[in-house]
Amino acid sequence: MAAKGLVQVYTGDGKGKTTCAIGLAIRLLGHGGRVAIVQFLKGWEGYGEVAFLEALPAVSLERTGRADFVRPRGPQPEDYAEAERGLRLAERRITSGEYDLVILDEINVALSYGLISTRTVLDMLKGRPAHVEVVLTGRNAPDPLLDAADLVTEMVNRRHPFERGIKAREGIEF
């Protein structure tokens, strides 16, 4: 795989952050690489991509978080504990050096809610093995993370069917 891994952030309020990260995982898997995915705030188990990726031997996938939404103004103790658990899993997967790509899905949301410390995440990224590429997804990525990243893509919402009352569809939104 790549000799030097970089740090990528996919943020913004438009659709496509998680699916973009998964597209990258597929590209890398096609070259024989190994991928670790740690999901934050994703206790709900209905995502199609999770069911598919979990079955692949070259993929490690771990979900953390409650099944329900976090209340932005009042996260519950379990929200903090689950985000911490995710952070420890992320550290383990990154430092092992076994994975060419580590995707921290929705970690930006956990950071923006203050469930985990941005400083700790930045230190983790800094200390990673040189070949490990890390992708951090989710809305509202904090500025210090954007400053530290090698690549930042912001998905901008111009229109989304949800605004016309079209509910999340199986196979498309989840």
Q: Which residues bind ligand ATP (CB under 6 A)?
A: 13-19, 139, 155, 157, 160, 162, 168, 173-174
Quickly tell me which residue has 């700790």 as its tokens.
Answer: 120
Binding mask 3-42 for Mg ion (x = CB under 5 A): --------------xx------------------------
Partner touching 33 among ligand ATP, Mg ion, none, CB below 5 to 8 Å by kind: none
Supply the DSSP symbol for 161.
Answer: G
CB of 96 to ligand ATP, least distance (A): 26
Partner touching 6 among Mg ion, ligand ATP, none, CB below 5 to 8 Å by kind: none
Q: Which amino acid is at 107?
A: I
Q: Which amino acid is at 105?
A: D
Determine the Cα–Cα distance for residues 50 and 37; give it in Å rounded to an integer.
10
Partner touching 15 among Mg ion, ligand ATP, none, CB below 5 to 8 Å by kind: ligand ATP
Supply the DSSP symbol for 143.
Answer: H
Q: Which helix (H) or strand (E) holds 38?
A: strand 35-39
* Closer residue to Mg ion (CB): 18 or 64: 18
Q: Which residues contact 120 (CB under 8 A, 6 or more apart)?
A: 87
Partner touching 52 among ligand ATP, Mg ion, none, CB below 5 to 8 Å by kind: none
Binding residues for Mg ion, how many (CB under 5 A)?
2
DSSP letter string, 72-93: TTS--HHHHHHHHHHHHHHHHH
CB of 31 to ligand ATP, least distance (A): 22
- Cα–chain center distance at 171: 19
CB of 94 to ligand ATP, least distance (A): 21
* Closer residue to Mg ion (CB): 76 or 140: 140
